[in-house]
Amino acid sequence: MAHSRVHKDRGELRIHENLDELGTDLAEYIAELSEASVKERGVFAIAVSGGSLIGLMGKLCETPYNKTVDWAKWYIFWADERVVGKAHADSNYKLVKDGFLSKVPVVPSHVNSINDSVSAEEAADIYEFHIRQLVKTRTINVSDNSDCPKFDLILLEMGPDGHVASLFPNHPMLDEKAEWVAFITDSPKPPPERITFTLPVINSASNVAVVVTGESKAEAVHLAIDDVGPDYLSLPARLVQPTKGKLVWFLDKPAASKLDGSQFSE
Ligand SMILES: O=C(O)[C@H](O)[C@@H](O)[C@H](O)[C@H](O)COP(=O)(O)O
């Protein structure tokens, strides 16, 4: 059984015994949000990232979800992407296609991947323009207090350095307020060229889930969630603070191993 607790201002924490349990809980969570969103808006706009997240979403491709989820209503996006060809081993599109989209009947025209034949700057501009069109038609909802897109769900991972999407510690992109999709050419983690949702977009979502597994991220989890003082307020994962939406952390025990326990309520 997952141990779930609510932090006073860092959202809900779900700590799982193992990856199998985490995968089961994550599939259930996504399926429930999909159902609620389709009921309310007729569509489900979900953005994913790369890394082990896609493997952890595997149970969604199995019984019962492969039959019960309303896949025709899904619109899928990337919270960040590496600027490489779609067939390249580093491509998040390829990761999602091979590990997920090839196993469930998402409508091909609802798969919103970046243009891989242009520069990082152009790819970011084109992606943002595309998202703007979908906000106009409300395929993607709009934020109540800005013109930002309000994705039904943004799924993020966190690296051992506390980065989320392609927003890295101390990078100027953390201060970006105007753009929805930004490009970087100096990612500290290869490949260097990437596009990424900016914090205003992430924090406008209805739901944000951060999936973190493994002991290598335990310190960053502690710094992103616990009350550690002003030095870490600009850690990218700490800047994930949905304005009106709900934040949920999916952790395994090793990733949660350095969390303080004292300030949590059951
Ligand atoms: O930006 C990237 O290059 C990666 O996609 C990265 O963000 C990854 O998601 C995390 O480092 C966690 O990775 P794992 O879950 O695979 O350990």
Q: Is residue 160 part of a domain?
A: yes
Q: Is residue 97 part of a domain?
A: yes
Model pLDDT, residue 265:
45
Mutate to test the pocket of ligand 1, among 95, 155, 157 (most ligand atoms within 8 A of CB): 157
Ligand 1 proximity of 189 Cβ (cutoff 6 Å): yes
- The alpha carbon of 212 and the centre of ligand 1 are apart by a number of angstroms equal to 9
Model pLDDT, residue 232:
86
Model pLDDT, residue 5:
87
Q: Is residue 265 part of a domain?
A: no
80's enclosing H/E stretch is: strand 80-82
Q: Which protein residue has the closest C-alpha to ligand 1 atom 12?
A: 159
Residues 226-259: pLDDT tens digits? 999 888 889 999 999 999 999 999 999 999 999 9
The whole domain housing 206 covers 33-252
Structure tokens at 169: 């510690």
- Is the ipTM here above 0.90? yes
pTM over 0.80? The answer is: yes
DSSP β-ladder status, 44-48 and 153-157: parallel
Q: CA-to-CA distance for 22 and 71, rounded, in angstroms?
A: 22
Which candidate, 181, 169, 172, 176, places its Cα nearest to that of 224?
A: 169
- 259 in Cβ contact with 1 (< 8 Å): no
Q: CA-to-CA distance for 148 and 165, rounded, in angstroms?
A: 17
Q: Is residue 244 part of a domain?
A: yes
Q: Is residue 2 part of a domain?
A: no
**In the chain, pLDDT over 70 holds for what percent of residues?**
98
Q: Is residue 246 part of a domain?
A: yes
Model pLDDT, residue 229:
87
> What is the number of structural domains in the chain?
1
The domain that holds 136 is classified in CATH as: 3.40.50.1360
3-state secondary structure of 174: helix
- The alpha carbon of 41 and the centre of ligand 1 are apart by a number of angstroms equal to 31
Residues of the chain with pLDDT under 70: 1, 262-266
Q: Is residue 122 part of a domain?
A: yes
Model pLDDT, residue 262:
37
Ligand 1 proximity of 216 Cβ (cutoff 6 Å): no
Write the CA distances from 219 to 70, 223, 236, integer angstroms.
38, 6, 14
Q: Is residue 14 part of a domain?
A: no
